[in-house]
Structure 1
Amino acid sequence: MNAFTIPKDRIGDSRLAERLERETQGEVLWSAADRGRYATDASIYQIEPVGVLVPRSMSDVEAALSICRDDGIPILPRGGGTSQCGQTVNRALVIDCSKYLNRVLAVEGDTVRVEPGISLGALNTALAGTKQFFPVDPSTWARCTIGGMAGNNSCGSKSIRYGLMADNVRAIDALLADGSRFRFGALPDNLGAEVPAGIADLIQRLRALGAREAEEIAARFPNQLRRVGGYNIESLTPAARAEGRGNLARLLVGSEGTLAFSAALDLQLWPVKPRKALGICQFPSFRAAMAASQHLVTLDPEAVELVDRTMIDLGRSIPIFRATIDRIVRGEPDSLLIVEFHGQEDAPLARSLDALEEMMGDLGYPDSVVRCIDPGFQAAVAEVREAGLNIMMSMKGDGKPVSFIEDCAVALPDLADYTERLNQVFERHGTKGTWYAHASVGCLHVRPVLNMKDPEDVRRMRTIAEECFALVKEYKGSHSGEHGDGIVRSEFNASMFGPRITAALEEVKDAFDPTGLLNPGRVVRPPRMDDRTLFRYAPGYAADPDVQPVLDWSAWPGPQGGLLGAVEMCNNNGTCRKSDANVMCPSYRATRDEEHLTRGRANTLRLALTGQLPGGLASDEVHHALSLCVSCKGCKRECPTGVDMAKMKIEAMAARARERGINARDRLIATLPRWAPFAAMLPEAANARNWIPGLPRLGERLLGFSAERSLPRFRRDAFHDAELPAPDGRAGEVILFPDVFSRYFEPENLRAAIRVLRAAGYNPAVARSARGSRPLDEGRTLLGAGLVDEAREEARRTLAALSAVASPVIGLEPSSTLTLRDEFLSLLPGPEAEALAARTFLVGEFLAREKPRLTLKPVAEAAHVHGHCHQKAFAAFAPAIAMLTMIPGLKVVPIASSCCGMAGSFGYEAANLAVSKAMAELSLLPAVRKVPEGALIVADGTSCRHQIGDLAGRQALHGIRVLEMALA
């Protein structure tokens, strides 16, 4: 038998897990939740693995191969898990290389040797000092791994210049199925004694196959740059060897882990071209753009990338991309082509843009090029282009653009006709396709919009695939031009290449892996692409009818009030794994664990909401997956499909609180606004834990607060509402919203805001509840504990008081103030909450918008500013910076940082201390330590200020304090 058939009772087999734990040093992930998180990639498939090993060394991989060979369990190598076609899901032991096997091993001249788990983004960052880079650049560059790129024969936008992965891998140090290890690369025809007998025999068999099938390969393989289907057996032919293309690493590239396990890869490096210019060409129709591509490439660009009308419209609906889309679009074009030129100097690039404008005029489209020279603008354009898939997948509802024919490639002269005919296929079957990506090489990512939960749409998918591939064959194109074969395209290798090539591909597989140990069923002997039992939405997939959400999810159609639809917006493409993260996802960046990743959490929730995870939302598995989520809301802004894990965490916490209650510590924190006024009356007693020896250790044992942390100090001079009048509609009136932290721990910030607002000509007031004397509260701490009903009651009280006046509402603490703009809309949906959200501002936002006349004096030479995660998530960081730039002579320096790691009570808890510190050390603390003495450090979040003080020994100020200092 040439492939393992694994019975379901081997899934989660404890005996295999015990052996892996004994014989390797790796992390053995074996729970149902762990297996569920690795059951999906970015494709439409879901296959539960036997288990997961995260190896710490290649010795662990070798041991695992031996164990699985003995036990009859297949092996599946995995990197970032971003595969579009189902390469990285299988009933096998998944070996995740991305956490530990991610080093640069050596750089020698224009060659770098790396471990398979290093991401492309991390590699090029490491190479920055060499003035060289690795140029194969798929849109997932920030998180895809080199091993995965080699497995898929990745391409990217610049393949017209640099070729494919196969053209840039010089050698692969590979582990074979029988346990042997060999460095496959350029080898002489006469193999020397240094080549082991078994390997020499394998190589001779492969070369004999290449010689025997050379004519058939020449006749059957399409003459396209973008051909990645099947194995690269053309490298085995005598002609390829004579031309220097017989490097055996080419054969392993694109093999999707079915032939060998890459232990290390030697990659070719290229000189960095430091200058760049973009011309964004506007076209009135999609066909016009396709027809123009063949002409634009004659200008020798680095890339020509398509953005179609669907992507333009969807991009505008996503806050992080809206401004960029508006800048790159001129008028109402149907399609854009982004033409990219690179070089060493600006002048030649300017001439290239001139030539582009001239050519567009000759084609009948004068004044249709938006020139993009500014590096910041270029980076924003690149971010939109690279997010093309996720932008397309941001469609709400069960109908989504589905990947199964998206990588077909045809010659540029045929591109307009081919795409027009394919659109007719879509129309004939009652759907439409979304288009984007690589117009320079005739490989456009096209995804028909289908519902994979609907059996009729699944049948339609197969018919569309068959008709599409017939078109591709007619145009002598490649049915697999990027992203590999996986499950979705392997089946069609037989019809594209014919029976003789199919048999040759199987012969290659059997020569390397006669027992089917390595990722069986991919490239050769595959399952049917439309086998619904392999789908993420398999027969029987349904929402648990007992789940009753406590928040409003009506923006997403579907059951459970839209909650499942919101969770399903995660398409597993893994943007949250990116190595250049701004905010998202800090817990993953600190731990490198799939469990503590936005994608991993979304998968856990989806399994729980559909009955695939025992215990549902209240389960320990869900609780553990969310335990390190700091509710930073980075995903709300940075996830292109809008997965709001902070909101989803509230839903899960509420389910657990209803079923199991909450512990004393969480109750203490949740009710802080209720007991804080009394604590402030006796601050010495309330703060005793900070100064009486022994109490910190006792508090850690009883409540879980780390003894290493000092807790915020209650202040005797706490802020009281009586310090300001109640609103009465005076001219210039603004409503100050004092949060619990500013009231009782840092009242000087509130008083600074009052002084600045008055100096600016405003009359601050404080709204009061009609129900009792307790100050208003937004319910932030209650939501953090899952006490949604109590938080909703606080929201009603606050909404009633603030809706009674029409003045702007101004707050200081981002997490508290922005609750009025965010969670209130889910707690109390309706026009009142929407109206309040529209007139609620952080103080920096308000002053930056109003630009009041203030007489200010210099206070320091520089202020280094850390943005609170919620400020960034709600586009409120730039206004905070703008407010500080009002101060004369002050150089304002934004700190490039992710979450500080304190996040409310998170960083105070002993269980989270190590992760809290790790988050802070990712970027914030190193930057703070470099701030020179005398310069100001600014952080508008109380948690951020405390973290900076605790771990860096530096005082950070709220921005409003700095502005108060500058008042003349």
Structure 2
Amino acid sequence: MAELMRPGLTRRLARGIQGDVLTDAFSRGRYATDASIYQIMPSAVVVPRGIDDIVAAMDAAREEGVPITMRGGGTSQCGQTVNSGIVVDTSRHLNQIRELDVTGRRALVDPGIVLDDLNRLLKPHGLWFPVDVSTASRATIGGMAGNNSCGARSLRYGTMRDNVVAIDAVLADGTRARFGEIEQRGANEPPRDLVADLLSLGRREADEIAAVFPKVQRRVGGYNIDALTPDAAPQNLAHLLVGSEGTLAVSTAIEIKLSPLPPAQKALGVCHFPTFRQAMEASQHLVRLDPTSVELVDSTMIGLARDIAMFRPTLEAFVRGDPAALLLVEFADSPDENEQSMRALQDTMADLGYGFGRGGRQEGGVVEVTDPKLQGAIAALRAAGLNIMMSMREEGKPVSFVEDCAVPLEHLADYTDRLTAIFEQHGTRGTWYAHASVGCLHVRPVLNVKLEKDAAAMREIAEQAFSLVREYKGSHSGEHGDGISRSEFHTVMFGERLVDAFGVVKTRFDPGDLLNPGKIVNAPRMNDRTLFRYPPGYAVEDFSPALDWSAWPGAAGGFQGAVEICNNNGACRSHAGNVMCPSYRVTRNERDVTRGRANTLRLALSGQLGPGALTSNAMMETLKLCVSCKACRRECPTGVDMARMKIEVLHQRRKTHGLSLQDRLIANLPRYAPMAARVSGLLGLRDTVPGAAALSERLTGFSRHRSLPRFRPDHFRDAEGDRSGGANDAPHVVLFADTFGRWFDPETLRAGVAVLSAGGCRVETARPAGGGRPLCCGRTYLAAGMVDEARNEARRTIDALLPHVEAGRPIVGLEPSCLLTMRDEFPALLSGSESAALAEAAVLFEEFVATSAKAGDISLPLAPRPGKALLHGHCHQKSFGAMGAVESTLRLVPELEVETVESSCCGMAGAFGYNAETIDVSLAMGELSLLPAVRDADPDTLIVADGTSCRHQIADGADRRARHVAEILAGALMETA
């Protein structure tokens, strides 16, 4: 990559740009890929702070003779946002609404504003932008305009083109102009000679356009030169820029139409079909009912989603039996209209011969879903279709290149049958999902594009598929644009005359081929493997991993496969909801998101960042803000587990770089804690004697702005956890007294013992098999990459707990990060039946209480506690789907109202919040939602957080004491005493 460095370009950019100019190999590598199979290393990356920076970058590109490519969320499926030269990321700073006309339902927005963020701002006004693409949590309006995005509800709301009013843009020569309707010319209009030439072309080619352009809604291939014809309604030059993939001009502001929010109460009918073809045949009939959408979910997607923890409960709630395909039919009108539509849907399905058979026999039928929460979960599952399909743990993956061809609905069943036959001819299969309502199914054949034979098969499949599409008078590009994948096929689809017209438009706008060259016109071959993410000669250095990665394919014991499972679709770039990715939500830096880290690891593993990159300082900077929240483990639909990857990299680095003093202090805390508790008063001087904290920061790296946890002389002792049960058949539970509760927060463990005992349980504290120091999960060692030491602790813990596990006793813990280490890391440290058995037996306090109370195995005499509890969930609780149990346990307290904060990571994350280098980001994470919610809470509201770190962050950042759920229950017990 060093050969791409251009010192003159770097100096030119640095002089003229206020934002970030990134020229190091690690940063450029992170922008070398999008969600396609392609990879092109840029010469520089610019993160502009304003429009002037974009203009300065364009000036530099023009003067230095390098291309420039605009980028939003980087989620393009066809390689639109990768190129040599300069890549400009608008998503970090150019993300605001500039003007909002609520009455006129118009908005002028920055190109980098994310769709979900935009709609959150519009919601209080009763409006939304309805081009609801599945990547709404990270797709920018500029990128959506560039691709002419469509979304699930285009049947009702149309495509991006239908919803763009005007575009402010900069031409390749630096001219700024506003592109809109021809009849509404005003200030800053485009050059008149340009407009005249474009309209002349439109008149000249009008007949050919009418004859050749596909008559389907989902035609987004080529340039929209039909907007230039005399009968275009309206003649809007902005519509020519829509779908142009940044090849004609650079958008700096986009005026969009807004729509009234649809009714909150929708109706959803889930139509089940015994065969895939029957679902395709039914689509044309269901569309006549005027739904807002008809979305396909096939059996492959159902099967993969059942293996993903976050989707399994949703599937269980609405899927009956084992259908070959589902069609999700949504109506969003008035309640009466929705009810009538659902009746019509049932009748239509019955007329088509589908219903649920008796005795469990599946024949097809409709499951009505009225619960808004379940509807939202189903929508989230469908939106994650791409990532679910990419979660296959094999060398072959579903590949996007014929993904969104669109054909008329009457031909959909025949088209899918014939395309399936083409896949079979090449020894593969396809995955299918998405927009059955408009004949635009997302289909991907499973191929291993690292292999030359599969790259060749990809091209043959494309040629055959596009031939089919043309035969059915469809569009070879129905939603995701052209990019590298489809641009070279425009001659086949449109003919030489219209492709020549495309070339005329490109040359007239951009005679120097400055703007995103190689897209739409003058394209490379789509299977040029030198442009692939996995080019010829791609290989990974094999090394001995410290953890078990055998569930993934590839070199380095499967570590390669675990890293490469990231498909770059960017679900980790969401700014609200769920947890992932908390550091990115603060910095908005591609380096600090799961995708950016995974890309960096892949490039380092394959030697593309130079020797020693995997354990380099630059890699540590890449991983520094990963707080190991484990959110990606659950929320990334392909299962990228960055927390575990970070442990592996830290271990590998330790071999050559050793450990810092701070690392040693963190890792060995369980070892020196007994002595520290005896001299806790002396250690407390660090936070009381003037200058001591500053000296401590210089020596250890712990921030002087944060007081350290206090070791407690009254620490928890094992004997305190031994309580006999009431009856002989009372549940026998083993309490795992974690290091943090034992030495810092013993009241939590004591509360847990009190609650379990009051419930009639026999409680026994877990002890080492041969005596000696207390048991430890090894969490602190893992945080420092000391895997061997963590493995030793895991071995000690398994040896001590296995007899209890074999006796059927649950292992109950109160600190989520510690207890859940047994479920997550222990099997990776010590694979085999013993660690698996312990992982199965290990339960959080709340999980045990909620399940036992529901089953009637325990009964707690709890006094009413009128009022409210504000609950913050620990990241690991969320990662393991335990928040429902936490809420259920709190609701055992009579008259207690429970409200869960919609929060990401609290920001403390163990030692992360104490580190002088990361404390600012730590506090900023807390300020995203948690700390403001706590400050706004009434003084009588209980603040509840099960994590030691979370409670400390709340105390430091909001000056409120948070309690463990066990303490809340124990307090209610005391009221009855």
Counterparts of 1:479-490 in structure 2, within 5 Å, are 479-490=476-487
**Does the Cα contact within 8 Å between 2:723 and 2:763 map onto a contact in 1?**
no
State whether residues 860 and 935 of structure 1, in contact with CA within 8 Å, keep that contact through their aligned partners in structure 2. Answer: no
Q: After superposition, where does 1:155-174 map in structure 2 within 5 Å?
A: 155-174=150-169
**Could you tell me which residue of structure 2 aligns to residue 845 of structure 1?**
847
User: CA RMSD of the aligned region, Å?
Assistant: 1.4
Does the residue aligned with 1:238 lie in a helix, a strand or coil? coil
Question: Which letter maps to 2:352?
Answer: L
Q: Measure the CA separation in 2 of the matches of 1:354 and 1:740.
A: 59
Q: Separation in 1 of the partners of 2:399 and 2:38?
A: 11
Task: Output one character per residue of 1:594-634: Cα deviation in whole Å (capped at 9) or x when no partner.
Answer: 00000000001111111112213211121111000000000
Residue pair 2:428, 2:445 contacting (<8 A) in 1 also:
yes
Provide the secondary structure at the position in 1 that maps to 2:537: coil
Q: Which range moves more in the overlay, 524-533 or 790-799?
A: 790-799
- Picking from 50, 54, 57, the partner of 2:47 is 54
Whether the 8 Å contact between 1:152 and 1:255 is mirrored in structure 2 is: yes
5+ residue gaps, structure 1: 1-7
Q: Deviations over 1:398-452 (max 9, x none)?
A: 1111000011111001111111111111111111110000000000000001111
Aligned to 1:64: 57
Structure 2 alignment gaps of length 5 or more: 357-364
TM-score under structure 1 length normalisation: 0.97
Task: Please show how residues 167-566 of structure 1 align to structure 2 within 5 Å.
Answer: 167-188=162-183, 199-240=191-232, 244-274=233-263, 275-343=265-333, 345-367=334-356, 368-545=365-542, 547-566=543-562
SS at 1:863's partner residue? strand
Instruction: State the alpha-carbon separation in 2 of the partners of residues 452 and 365 from structure 1.
Output: 40
**Alignment partners' CA distance in 2, 1:20 and 1:156:** 37
Residues 205-234 of structure 1 show CA distances to partners (whole Å, capped at 9, x for unaligned) of: 111111111111112111111101000001
1:803 alignment counterpart: 802
The aligned runs of 1:78-93 (5 Å cut-off) are 78-93=71-86
Moved more, 797-806 or 9-18: 9-18
TM-score (norm 2): 0.96
Equivalent positions of 1:652-663 (< 5 A) are 652-663=649-660
Q: CA deviation at 1:724?
A: 3.9
Which residue of structure 2 lines up, in the alignment, with residue 31 of structure 1?
A: 24
Q: Name the CA distance, whole Å, in 2 between partners of 1:730 and 1:22.
A: 78
What is the deviation of 1:553? 0.4
Aligned to 1:74: 67
Answer yes or no: is the 8 Å Cα contact 2:649–2:785 preserved in 1.
yes
Match of 2:147 in 1: 152
Per-residue Cα deviation, 1:477-499 (whole angstroms, up to 9, x for no partner): 10111100000000101111111
* Count, aligned residues: 953
Greater shift after overlay, 699-708 or 175-184? 699-708
Shift of 1:13: 1.9
Residue 821 of structure 1: aligned partner: 823
CA contact (8 A) 2:737 2:766 kept: no
How far apart, in 2, do the equivalents of 1:772 and 1:124 lie?
Answer: 59
Q: Distance in 2 between matches of 1:130 and 1:879?
A: 36
Q: For residues 724 and 11 of structure 1, what CA distance do their matches in structure 2 show?
A: 63
Match 1:582 to one of 578, 584, 587: 578
Distance 1:9 1:795, change over 3 A: closer
Aligned to 1:5: none
Partner residue of 2:941?
A: 935
Secondary structure, counterpart of 2:443 in structure 1: strand
Task: Tell me by how many angstroms 1:722 deviates.
Answer: 3.3
1:686 Cα deviation from its structure 2 partner: 2.3
The separation in 2 between residues aligned to 1:149 and 1:656, in whole angstroms, is 41
Distance (Å, rounded) in 2 between the aligned partners of 1:224 and 1:732 = 65
Superposition deviation, residue 195 in structure 1? 6.0
Partners of 2:296 and 2:25 in 1: CA distance: 41
The one-letter amino acid of 2:198's match is L
Q: What is the CA–CA distance in structure 1 between the aligned matches of 2:502 and 2:697, rounded to whole Å?
A: 62
- Match of 1:820, SS state, is helix
Structure 1 position 723, deviation (Å): 2.9
1:645 partnered with 2:642: yes
Q: Distance in 2 between matches of 1:803 and 1:28?
A: 55
Matches within 5 A, 1:2-151: 11-108=4-101, 109-151=104-146
Aligned counterparts of 1:358 and 1:219: Cα–Cα separation in 2: 39
SS in 2 for 1:680: helix
AA aligned opposite 1:401: P
In the other structure, the counterpart of 2:968 is 962
Instruction: Report the Cα distance in structure 1 between the residues aligned to 2:818 and 2:781, rounded to whole angstroms.
Output: 12
CA distance in 2, matches of 1:566, 1:730: 45
The one-letter code matched in structure 2 to 1:601 is: R
Superposed counterparts of 1:780-929, under 5 Å: 780-806=779-805, 807-851=809-853, 852-929=858-935
Q: 1:417 to 1:911 in 2, by over 3 A?
A: same
Q: Secondary structure at the match of 2:754?
A: helix
Q: 1:231 to 1:847 in 2, by over 3 A?
A: same
Tell me the residue number matched to 1:3.
Answer: none
2:785 and 2:714 map into 1 onto residues whose CA distance is 31
CA contact (8 A) 2:945 2:964 kept: yes
Would you say 1:634 and 2:631 are equivalent positions?
A: yes
The 1-side partners of 2:177 and 2:803 are apart by: 76
The 8 Å contact of residues 42 and 85 in structure 2, kept in 1 or not, is answered as yes
2:359 maps to: none
- Structure 2 CA distance for aligned equivalents of residues 860 and 355 of structure 1: 47
1:746-765 matches, cutoff 5 A: 746-765=745-764
Secondary structure of residue in 1 paired with 2:917:
helix
Find the aligned partners of 1:130 and 1:735 in 2 and give their Cα distance.
Answer: 54
Q: Is the 8 A contact 1:727 1:805 kept in 2?
A: no
Once residues 305 and 942 of structure 1 are traced to their aligned partners in structure 2, the CA distance between those partners, rounded to angstroms, is 44
Alignment correspondent of 2:681 = 684
Residue by residue, what CA displacement relative to the aligned partner does 1:37-89 show, whole Å, maximum 9, x if unpaired?
Answer: 00000000011011100000001111111111111011100000000000000
Give the Å deviation of 1:581: 3.1
Distance 1:293 1:648 in 2: 44
Q: SS at 2:967's partner residue? A: helix
